[in-house]
């Protein structure tokens, strides 16, 4: 693939990633009616548990559309990694490029594990361990990528975007640290750590696409800018 095509493709992939997650989560949550799904108290992973009637930490879990959510988990990992890697290969060089590519690949592996191994306490211990471990790695890597995107000059985007990237990534990591503080807010803080990079995906996709389309064709080949 030529370099001139990587930027718009990366932008579209990142936008698609955010849209498919939000849509899949909304559909899966709406299908959960007994009891109603709560964005505040239920974990996102509850939507992927296949067994209806599981009880865990005071929650009754029953997700009719668990297949949809687990598919979305896997798709998210692949799409986010693809978009981030395309940006890195096009706009970064040296250690910065290798770091982003490695983080993106680890994120993809983490979410594939999340989608394949559900987080139900009724399942095998190794399944839950792989699910929790994969999620932890994926969340850490994605938010770190957002912070790096604001720290590096290679994206050639406005100062406001760089501040946004650092802030949203840092807030995502901070939010995730408070997930276990209370069962009544677990879903809120978990989503803070996940929606951070989904928001980063959408904003980055829009910024890169708009900047690419506004530049003259001859100028759409950005020079690599070191960190």
- 60 forms beta bridges with 55
**pLDDT at residue 222 is higher than 50:** no
pLDDT value of position 53: 79
Distance CA 25, CA 84 (A): 22
Which residue ranges make up each domain of the chain? 3-217
pLDDT value of position 113: 97
Report the first-to-last Cα separation within the chain, whole angstroms: 24
Distance CA 65, CA 25 (A): 9
Question: Per residue in 65-116, pLDDT tens?
Answer: 999 999 999 999 999 999 999 999 988 889 999 999 999 999 999 999 999 9
Question: Per residue in 206-220, pLDDT tens?
Answer: 988 887 777 654 444
Asked if the bond preceding 51 is cis, omega within 30° of 0, the reply is no
Are 186 and 58 in contact by the 8 Å Cβ rule? The answer is no
**pLDDT at residue 166 is higher than 70:** yes
pTM: 0.89
Rg of the chain (C-alpha set): 18
């Amino acid at each position: 693939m030529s370099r001139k095509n990587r930027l718009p493709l990366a932008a579209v992939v990142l936008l698609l990633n955010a849209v498919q997650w939000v849509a899949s989560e909304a559909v899966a949550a709406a299908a959960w009616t007994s009891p109603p799904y709560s964005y505040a108290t239920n974990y996102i992973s509850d939507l992927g548990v296949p067994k209806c009637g599981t009880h865990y930490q005071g929650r009754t879990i029953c997700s009719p559309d668990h297949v949809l959510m687990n598919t979305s988990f896997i798709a998210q990992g692949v799409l986010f990694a693809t978009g981030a890697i395309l940006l890195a290969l096009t706009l970064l060089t040296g250690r910065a490029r290798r770091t982003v590519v490695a983080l993106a690949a680890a994120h993809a592996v983490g979410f594939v594990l999340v989608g394949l191994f559900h987080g139900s306490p009724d399942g095998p211990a190794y399944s839950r361990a792989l699910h929790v471990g994969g999620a932890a790695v994926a969340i850490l890597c994605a938010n770190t990528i957002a912070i790096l995107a604001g720290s590096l000059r290679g994206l050639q985007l406005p100062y406001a975007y760089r501040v946004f990237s650092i802030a949203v990534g840092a807030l995502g990591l901070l939010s995730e640290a408070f997930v276990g503080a209370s069962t009544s807010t677990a879903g809120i803080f978990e989503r803070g750590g996940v929606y951070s990079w989904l928001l980063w995906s959408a904003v980055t996709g829009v910024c890169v696409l708009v900047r690419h389309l506004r530049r003259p064709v001859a100028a759409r080949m950005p020079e690599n800018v070191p960190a």
